[in-house]
């Protein structure tokens, strides 16, 4: 059809018009966002997990005859076309030089990976790269392969001894000392008995300590210099170049396990993160215990009891918006009110004797959990309210019509139906709390607290103690350690661990919500 006196407006072809460049840029922004997320996760995974892989040791000889043993880390092009430089991790902090060395690639005369290179994990001075020349053990001097076998055997023994001694100290000696300190006025005979027991235990510990001594390794570094290394200082030893892939895999698993189960060493640049894992979990658990009842209570009040007027609507918006208030503000509140206010008062009333050193008047597990509970309260309230409001009115009426009171309707019908929503809210709250660091810097994490806040001593759970936290551990190791480069692999691994925990929690919440929507989508066939 044509309008008389008008020429046609458009062409008559049926091809779809083109969307133009903006649409493509929009599409690219989705892809770019996903790409960034993926890149971040891949980077963390690769760097975090590669840390535990026994990397191949290279022995390179420079054109001036200098020999270096190390692991190549990265490579960069020098400005102005001056060639390529490669950075090696050469360890051996006790040799005086740094643990890193940049080598000019064109100057490398030879690059080999001999099988007899060893890596030693030592309690002091960090990692050692070099060769094992001999082992002196109980007057015998062993060389060659026999030395290696003897050392491995001895390391196993040492590990067992170390553990026995640790256990003795932790389970027997420390509790006894604490008890004696707490009750110094108990009867004389009791006191003597305790004393004798303590002496016996300490003698046993000393014996275990003595058994660890003896045994010296003769090592040779890249320069061919010999040095002696007491065996008891060595934690682990391996020959990466001589390992088959399955041995490497086993070693990798062992290292990973150590990372997860041991405490940090060397000012947080080596060792594991077990206290941080434990601290994070404990704090999050405490927080859940605190936030769930109060969050649900507030949501039930807002949704079921309060008069649904203008005021309630305002309060609801207010609560929703609290989720957007920066976490540091909660930290400030926690420090001012919980730590200085309530904690200070508790100290004045109950721990007067130990003042001025604060007991509860300083950051600690309890205050951190409370602060995070406050921080995540809006999350739980909003999720629970959403769940409650999603329950159809006719379900409530059905219960009421059977003679249930409002409270009975709530506990027997409404709350069970809202349970998945509440759980979703709680999981999201836990995920948020696990990743929060800023408020914790104010109310209670510690740089290094090898003692976990739970032990066999009354009252078992020490709410006033400081604790370690994965997130803070990342911040601390990355910014406050003496050698950031050395700490990096561990920071990567810790970050990966934190991200994995949080992603798993979030995925659980997402699947739960999905399942919930599906189930509530078609409850009754009509």
Interaction residues for other proteins, span 483-522 (CB under 8 A): 484, 488, 491, 495, 498-499, 502-503, 506-507, 510
Q: Which stretch binds other proteins (CB under 8 A): 61-69, 160-168, 310-318, 459-467?
A: 310-318
Smallest gap from Cβ 461 to other proteins, in A, equals 24
Interaction residues for other proteins, span 397-426 (CB under 8 A): 397-408, 410, 412-413, 416-417
Interaction residues for other proteins, span 359-378 (CB under 8 A): 363, 374, 377
Per CB under 8 A, the list member of 335, 365, 388, 426 interacting with other proteins is 335
Among the listed residues 328, 350, 418, the one whose alpha carbon sits nearest the alpha carbon of residue 382: 418
Q: Which is nearer to other proteins, 60 or 270 (CB)?
A: 270
Distance CA 336, CA 443 (A): 9
Q: Are 496 and 40 in contact (CB under 8 A)?
A: no
Distance CA 265, CA 13 (A): 74
Q: Which residue's entry shows tokens 């003692």?
A: 451
As given in the structure block, the two tokens for residue 370 are: 């409370």
Other Cβ atoms less than 10 A from the Cβ of 332: the count is 16
Chain centroid to CA 313 = 40
The verdict on 434 binding other proteins (CB under 8 A) reads: yes
Q: What is the largest CA-CA distance in the chain?
A: 122
Calculated CA dihedral for residues 113, 116, 117, 123, nearest 10 degrees = 160
Distance CA 490, CA 477 (A): 8
471: left (phi over 0), alpha (psi -120 to 50) or beta: alpha
Please give the full DSSP string across 187-206, using - where no structure is assigned: -HHHHHHHHHHHHHHHHHHH
Q: Are 484 and 512 in contact (CB under 8 A)?
A: no
Distance CA 41, CA 500 (A): 9
Interaction residues for other proteins, span 129-188 (CB under 8 A): none
HEC string for 434-463 = HHCCHHHHHHCECCCCCCCCECCCCCCECC
Residue 445: HSE in the Cβ half-sphere, 13 Å Cα cutoff? 29
Q: Which is nearer to other proteins, 74 or 140 (CB)?
A: 74
Per CB under 8 A, the list member of 474, 486, 493, 516 interacting with other proteins is 474
Length of the chain: 526
Distance CA 25, CA 46 (A): 30
Smallest gap from Cβ 74 to other proteins, in A, equals 10
Smallest gap from Cβ 180 to other proteins, in A, equals 35
Q: Which is nearer to other proteins, 158 or 418 (CB)?
A: 418
Per CB under 8 A, the list member of 72, 214, 230, 435 interacting with other proteins is 435
Smallest gap from Cβ 13 to other proteins, in A, equals 12
Per CB under 8 A, the list member of 333, 360, 367, 467 interacting with other proteins is 333
Smallest gap from Cβ 475 to other proteins, in A, equals 6
Interaction residues for other proteins, span 261-280 (CB under 8 A): none
Q: Which stretch binds other proteins (CB under 8 A): 102-110, 118-126, 212-220, 300-308?
A: 300-308
Smallest gap from Cβ 333 to other proteins, in A, equals 5
Interaction residues for other proteins, span 13-42 (CB under 8 A): 16-38, 40
Q: Which residue's entry shows tokens 């001594």?
A: 213
**Per-residue x/- marks for other proteins, 244-263, CB under 8 A?**
--------------------
Interaction residues for other proteins, span 377-396 (CB under 8 A): 377, 392, 394-395
Smallest gap from Cβ 237 to other proteins, in A, equals 30
Interaction residues for other proteins, span 61-120 (CB under 8 A): 76-77, 79-81
Q: Which stretch binds other proteins (CB under 8 A): 94-102, 167-175, 447-455, 466-474?
A: 466-474
- Using CA atoms, how far residue 484 sits from 100, 214, 323, 477, 491, in Å, is 12, 35, 34, 7, 9
Q: Which is nearer to other proteins, 36 or 285 (CB)?
A: 36
Distance CA 445, CA 465 (A): 9
Smallest gap from Cβ 209 to other proteins, in A, equals 38
Strand partners for 60: 68, 111
How many residues lie near other proteins (CB under 8 A)? 117
């Amino acid at each position: 059809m044509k309008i008389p006196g008008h020429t046609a407006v458009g062409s008559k072809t049926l091809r779809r018009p083109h969307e133009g460049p903006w649409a493509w840029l929009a599409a690219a922004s989705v892809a770019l966002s996903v790409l960034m997320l993926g890149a971040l996760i891949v980077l963390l995974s690769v760097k975090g997990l590669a840390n535990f892989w026994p990397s191949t040791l290279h022995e390179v000889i420079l054109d001036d005859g200098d020999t270096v043993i190390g692991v190549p880390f990265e490579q960069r092009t020098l400005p102005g076309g001056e060639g390529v430089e490669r950075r090696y991790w050469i360890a051996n902090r006790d040799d005086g030089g740094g643990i890193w060395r940049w080598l000019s690639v064109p100057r490398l005369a030879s690059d080999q990976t001999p099988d007899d290179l060893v890596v030693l994990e030592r309690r002091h001075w960090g990692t050692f790269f070099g060769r094992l020349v001999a082992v002196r053990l109980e007057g015998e001097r062993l060389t060659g392969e026999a030395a290696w076998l003897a050392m491995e055997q001895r390391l196993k023994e040492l590990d067992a001894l170390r553990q026995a001694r640790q256990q003795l100290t932790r389970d027997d000696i420390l509790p006894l000392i604490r008890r004696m300190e707490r009750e110094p006025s108990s009867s004389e005979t009791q006191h003597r008995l305790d004393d004798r027991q303590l002496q016996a235990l300490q003698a046993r510990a000393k014996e275990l300590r003595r058994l660890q001594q003896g045994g010296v390794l003769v090592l040779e570094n890249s320069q061919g210099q010999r040095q002696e290394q007491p065996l008891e200082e060595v934690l682990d030893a391996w020959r990466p170049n001589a390992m088959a892939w399955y041995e490497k895999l086993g070693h990798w698993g062992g290292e990973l396990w150590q990372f997860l189960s041991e405490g940090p060493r060397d000012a947080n640049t080596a060792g594991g993160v077990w206290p941080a894992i434990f601290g994070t979990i404990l704090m999050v658990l405490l927080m859940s215990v605190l936030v769930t009842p109060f969050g649900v209570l507030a949501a039930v009040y807002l949704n079921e009891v309060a008069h649904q007027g203008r005021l309630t609507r305002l309060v609801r918006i207010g609560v929703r918006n609290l989720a957007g208030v920066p976490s540091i503000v909660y930290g400030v509140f926690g420090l001012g009110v919980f730590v200085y206010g309530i904690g200070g008062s508790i100290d004045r009333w109950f721990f007067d004797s130990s003042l001025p050193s604060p007991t509860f008047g300083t950051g600690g597990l309890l205050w951190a959990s409370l602060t995070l509970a406050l921080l995540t309260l809006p999350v739980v309230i909003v999720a629970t309210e959403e769940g409650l409001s999603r329950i159809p009115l006719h379900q409530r009426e059905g219960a009421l019509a059977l003679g249930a009171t409002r409270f009975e309707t709530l506990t027997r019908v409404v709350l069970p139906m809202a349970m998945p929503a509440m759980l979703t809210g709680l999981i999201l709250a836990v995920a948020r709390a696990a990743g929060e660091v800023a408020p914790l810097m104010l109310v209670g994490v510690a740089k290094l607290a090898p003692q976990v806040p739970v032990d066999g001593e009354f009252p078992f759970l020490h709410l006033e103690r400081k604790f370690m936290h994965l997130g803070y551990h990342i911040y601390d190791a990355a910014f406050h350690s003496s050698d950031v480069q050395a700490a990096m692999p561990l920071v990567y691994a810790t970050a990966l661990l934190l991200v994995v925990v949080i992603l798993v929690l979030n995925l659980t919440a997402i699947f739960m919500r999905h399942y919930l929507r599906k189930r509530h989508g078609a409850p009754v066939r009509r």
